[in-house]
Amino acid sequence: MVNDKTDRQHGKSAGGVAGGHRHGAFAPVAKAKDAKGTLKRLWTYMRRKRAVLILVFCLVALSTVFTLIGPMLIGWAIDYYIVPQDFKGLAGICLIMLAVFGLGSLSTWLQNHFMVGAAQDIVKEIRKDLFDKLQQLPLKFFDTSARGDLMSRLTNDVDNISQVLNMSTTQIFSSLVTVVGTLVMMIILSPILTLFTVLIIPIMLLATGKIAKRTRKNFMEQQQRLGDLNGFVEEDITGMRVVKVFGHEQESLKEFTRRNNLLSEVSIRAQIFSGIVFPLMNALNNVGFAIVAGIGGYLAVKGVISVGIIASFIAYSKQFTRPLNELANQFNMVQSGLAGAERVFEIMDQVPEPEDEPGAVELKYVAGAVKFKDVYFSYKEGVPVLKNINFDVKPGQTIALVGPTGAGKTTVINLLTRFYDIDSGAITIDGVDIRNIKRKSLRSNLGIVLQDTYLFSESVRDNIRYGRLDATDDEVERAARLANAHHFIKRLPKGYDTVLTDEGSNLSQGQRQLLSIARTILADPAILILDEATSNVDTRTEVHIQEAMLQLMKGRTSFVIAHRLSTIRNADVILVISGGEIIERGSHKELLAQRGFYYNLYTSQLRGEGA
């Protein structure tokens, strides 16, 4: 069973991506390359909630109707009850207005209630499908992808979709209905006043457009500066040990201050220009109200329209510009949401790990005979990593793989576990080609202990039990004893129930490695892989780990990758790999006698240790 995740990267990947903030209608946003196609795919999730969405849109239409009735009732109250001083009738129409506004508020609350529930259900399904897809993807995908980017898609991009569904869907529909309905009511009340109201809109669009150009440029620079600062902070925190070792705290602070000042300067410019927009729009709106009031007053004096109509019309004109502002604000949010959805669907469209071959078998009993025959492999087409690899491993033997960095040692393991498939040749276990074995069955018979252990933010007990989830507490403790881990576990604050933090950072490297070995012992694999398992620990801890590994290796076929050649002197066969080829093979004594590559490597290490 595979018990650790490798961090080796075979493709170029970037670290975490700095996050940003929304800055209103004119902040730069990523745009979907295929907005129409993305919208169609998003609809496949939304249509599962069709009944709720129809109800929501009906409630939106209803609340809009109530919003449109309100100003009309105000005009009637003035013309038919306040001017004639009919206070009894005024009380009646006030009750009607109270009921209208109350029902409007109720319908708005209900639409939000139902939409939030539907949106969260939709986002829950998207998030589940995305995570499910990640479990199906081959290791090659993760080796060539930036982990920060994948996390961003699972969190930020899904959050953008959530915001669009929660807010923009109803907001856009409501704004469109309100604009159309208000325009109709204004025309009914006074076509002349409507004309003067509509004439203000091009001026507003022209003014905001001019400001938008300057604002967008400043916000783009602000995002760049923010990303630059966040990247520096992330790098500084990650490398804090190095910063302190070399005493560069003050230099780091100076560099942070410089970048922070640059961000502050551009942010001030961006916010100043952004802040002009809404006061300007309010000023133009007030100009519009003044024009309506002035012309309306003139028309009222001439007896063309009543005071009530003027009051209703002013309310409608204010109601007319508000949805236009909302539509402008929603545009960026929708663009951001669609871009996020597109990035999510890009992951969902990745080719998953191939299904098992028809007729693939389960490995019921594994003796542990492994054979590589004429194996060729390349991560990138035309650039071979392994060439003509041939070797036979008998059940229970220990095979050591040695060679310079990048020779192809870990690649051999990646092929044996079928994290990658060979280009040509064959790999067999007990005579069965691994391509004819079900992947889950194959990997459940393999146990891997890596140089960089991975522990989860769970208890020590649960981390060991990850090797076999149905193991009892006694079996977990027995595995820990065999791994020489029991003694330090009992000294932890809560023993086996101590919760580990951040990949086991509250333990030493050696302790983490012992837990990893205990986990593998519990899994009881038929074939064992030890990949640089002792390279990150001190000599004393290495002795404990070596003892634990000897327990683990008893009766198992074992593959050992090691840079410290002193740890593999007892291996049955040592394969020396260089340039993707096996250049020497034999026992420790046999290879020393050949006085070749292995001899030079071993003696140079001895000299280094002696020094």
Cβ atoms of 529 and 556 within 8 Å: the answer is no
501 plus 570 within the same structural domain: no
Give the count of domains, the chain. 4
**Can you give the pLDDT at residue 86?**
76
**Can you give the pLDDT at residue 540?**
65
438 plus 516 within the same structural domain: no
- The amino acid sitting at 143 is D
Is 29 part of a structural domain of the chain? no
d(CA 496, CA 473): 9
119 plus 68 within the same structural domain: yes
Is 313 part of a structural domain of the chain? no
Cβ atoms of 551 and 524 within 8 Å: the answer is no
With b meaning 16 or more CB within 10 Å and e meaning fewer, what string describes 166-180? Answer: bbbbbbbbbbebbbe
DSSP states of 35-103 as a string?
Answer: HHHHHHHHHHHHGGGHHHHHHHHHHHHHHHHHHHHHHHHHHHIIIIIITTT-HHHHHHHHHHHHHHHHH
**In 3-state terms, what secondary structure has residue 304?**
coil
Is 408 part of a structural domain of the chain? yes
Is 462 part of a structural domain of the chain? yes
Q: Which residue has the tokens 């209608």?
A: 25
Q: The domain that contains 513 carries what CATH number? A: 3.40.50.300
469 plus 360 within the same structural domain: no
Is 500 part of a structural domain of the chain? yes
164 plus 211 within the same structural domain: no
**Element (DSSP H or E) covering residue 337:** helix 307-348
441 plus 574 within the same structural domain: yes
Q: What is the pLDDT of residues 341-362, one digit of tens each?
A: 888 888 898 888 888 888 888 8
Torsion of the alpha carbons at 204, 206, 209 and 215, rounded to the nearest 10: -70
3-state helix, strand, coil in the chain (%, to 5): 65, 10, 25
- The amino acid sitting at 576 is V
247 plus 183 within the same structural domain: no
Range of the domain at 155: 35-189+339-353
Q: Distances in Å between the alpha carbon of 234 and those of 19, 248, 456?
A: 12, 16, 22
Residue 84: beta bridge partners? none
Is 322 part of a structural domain of the chain? no
275 plus 216 within the same structural domain: yes
Query: Which of 97, 114, 119, 105 has its CA nearest to residue 62?
Result: 105
**Can you give the pLDDT at residue 285?**
72
**Hey, how many other C-beta atoms are within 10 angstroms of the C-beta on 119?**
24
Cβ atoms of 17 and 149 within 8 Å: the answer is yes
82 plus 119 within the same structural domain: yes
Q: The domain that contains 181 carries what CATH number? A: 1.20.1560.10
568 plus 438 within the same structural domain: yes
Per-10-residue mean pLDDT, the chain, length 611: 41 35 44 75 88 89 85 79 78 86 88 88 90 86 77 81 82 84 84 79 71 67 74 75 72 88 84 71 73 78 78 79 72 75 87 85 88 92 89 92 86 90 92 91 86 82 89 91 87 90 74 86 87 63 70 83 78 91 91 90 71 43
**Can you give the pLDDT at residue 374?**
94
Q: Which residue has the tokens 């492999």?
A: 377
Is 226 part of a structural domain of the chain? yes
56 plus 180 within the same structural domain: yes
Is 4 part of a structural domain of the chain? no
157 plus 255 within the same structural domain: no
Q: Which residue has the tokens 């929304």?
A: 22
